[in-house]
Amino acid sequence: MKELRRNMRFVGTLVVVLFVGLAAWFAMTVFTQGSVWASDVRNSRLRATASLRGDITDRDGNLLATTADDGTRQYTKNAIARRALSQTVGDTAGMSGTGIETFYSATLLDISTSLVDRLSELMGNARHVGGSIQITVDGPLQAWIASEFPVNEDTGACYRGAVCVTNYKTGEILAMVSMPNYDPYDLAVRTDAQVEDTAYLNRCLQGLYTPGSVFKIVTLASAITNDANVVDQAFSCSGEWDYEGGHIVCINRTAHGTVNLKTAFKRSCNVTFGKLAYQLGLERLRQTAERFGFNENFKFGDFVVYNSAFPTDISNMNGLVWAGIGQGKVLVTPLHMAMISGTIANGGVMMKPWLIQRVANSAGATTDTGSPEAYRQVIGAPVAERIAEYMYETVRSGTASRAAIQGYTVCGKTGSAEVSDDKTVETNAWFTGFIRDDAHPYAISVVIEGGGAGARMPSELAAKALKKAIEYVG
């Protein structure tokens, strides 16, 4: 009998512990995912509400979305701007899952309003108007960048890709251009011909790309952090390197000769950075990559960004060498790449990116505001300073010279990322960098799918976009 009572107490205690654990898990899940659930287009409460959606405006108050008196949702009149902002603003059908219309439906409809307030509105014959949202994006800047996106001369169609511009001092997202885009008005009469494949995808947040040579920023940071003497080390490059289990070449098999780390970086020498990765070893390179946010589940609150990846299962030298030059299983989003450049510009401190500048209720009273917040100190300030110097040399006299802006100090890195083993698919072209100017602290990443080797197009587009950011944002 005693044993039975003991077993009953044990089972009872276990049930209580499990119940408390389940309750704690549920509470934590609601806290971290509640806004996502509330904003889901399948939420029946959203469909049932009689509220009018509140306004969405850009950083300067330009109207991006509003609700007319007849209840129809209206977007900016400029067709180019409307399309450029489509994945950022979103649509009421929820086709762009990252858009403000979807992610912040609960706020725009203000479904949290009390029953007493709703009854008061009904008695006054007034329809409830939801909250309004002001975002950090500069609408004219985003529209301009989209209008300047390169066109394929062979097909006459615009290239696919993304441009992300941030303020590396504050973390504000100033532009998120994703190509192709779509017109929210087309959804009412949508046909396959009207909305291009993957147009609903926000490539800045959801596009996972092989980074290629822009990842050499991370490899460089790891090398300098782990061995201060590496900056004086001499590397020999004959244009190719045979090692145990593999073979690596520089672009066009260019022989860079004997180079130091700075020259290898500004010329984007694959052989040198493959050797660097081998010297570092998997663990040290992986640790640095993870300090920069790879393999991390980013939870920024304002939006959802896909996880960038650095392989943890590399079992041979070949995989390590290719990871060191940003190939193999390494993947990154354009927003994350802009954050990495911004970290270098900001003395090694990565800022938390944010999109929501201000939230106001139907009466116009501010209920929430965004503010700068440091995410983490990724690398030491001296290491960041040296990398910034190398990135400046890359723009001044290296592979990124087309990104230069007269009168400003631009630092950057180009990249050509192979996306097929047999080279039958044109490489993706990258540029990432920043303006070194406290008055204009802007970081940028550009990826053009199929843009080819040499990174001419993304470097030129980055220079034009940064010049416009200076003009529009100030």
The ranges assigned to domains in the chain are 212-354+372-472
Where is average pLDDT lowest: 13-22, 192-201, 254-263? 13-22
Q: Which pLDDT score is estimated for 10? A: 62
Between 31 and 87, whose confidence is greater? 87
What letter would DSSP give residue 413?
E
Q: Burial letters for 184-220: b for 16+ Cβ neighbours within 10 Å, e otherwise?
A: bbbbeeeeeeebeeebbbbbbbbbebbbbbbbbbbbb
- Reference 283, options 309, 264, 310; nearest CA is 310
Q: Which pLDDT score is estimated for 244? A: 87
Q: Which pLDDT score is estimated for 305? A: 94
Tokens representing residue 168 in the block? 């590396």
Q: Which pLDDT score is estimated for 26? A: 46
Distance CA 136, CA 353 (A): 10
Proportion of the chain above pLDDT 70, given as a percent: 83
Q: List all residues 6 or more positions away from 74 whose beta carbon is below 8 Å from its beta carbon.
A: 65, 66, 67, 68
Distance CA 442, CA 173 (A): 10
Packing angle of the helix pair 139-147, 456-472 (nearest 10 deg): 150
- Region for residue 268 given its phi and psi (left: phi exceeds 0; alpha: psi -120 to 50; beta: otherwise): left
| CATH architecture classification, 212-354+372-472 | 3-Layer(aba) Sandwich (3.40)
Query: pLDDT-based confidence at 72, cuts 50/70/90?
Result: very high
Proportion of the chain above pLDDT 90, given as a percent: 72
The count of other CB atoms within 10 Å of the CB of residue 244 is: 9
Q: Over range 300-321, report the average pLDDT.
A: 93
Residue pair 462/412 in contact (Cβ under 8 Å)? The answer is yes
CA distances from 45 to 162, 279, 322 (A): 34, 57, 50
Distance CA 196, CA 216 (A): 33
Q: Which pLDDT score is estimated for 153? A: 87
Q: Which pLDDT score is estimated for 125? A: 47
pLDDT at residue 122 tops 60: no
Distance CA 366, CA 190 (A): 37
The count of other CB atoms within 10 Å of the CB of residue 126 is: 10
Distance CA 75, CA 85 (A): 10
Q: Over range 346-371, report the average pLDDT.
A: 95
CA 369 to chain centre: 21
Residue pair 253/240 in contact (Cβ under 8 Å)? The answer is yes
Q: Which pLDDT score is estimated for 129? A: 81
Tens of pLDDT along 91-101? 988 888 889 99
Q: Which pLDDT score is estimated for 41? A: 47
Q: Which pLDDT score is estimated for 30? A: 38
Tens of pLDDT along 380-399? 999 999 999 999 999 999 99
Q: Is the dihedral of CA 416, 337, 330, 292 positive or negative?
A: positive
Q: Which amino acid would we find at residue 72?
A: T
Q: Is the dihedral of CA 445, 447, 451, 457 positive or negative?
A: negative
Tens of pLDDT along 278-305? 999 999 999 999 999 999 999 898 899 9
pTM: predicted TM-score of the whole model, two decimal places: 0.88
**Across the strands, what pairs with 57?**
63, 134
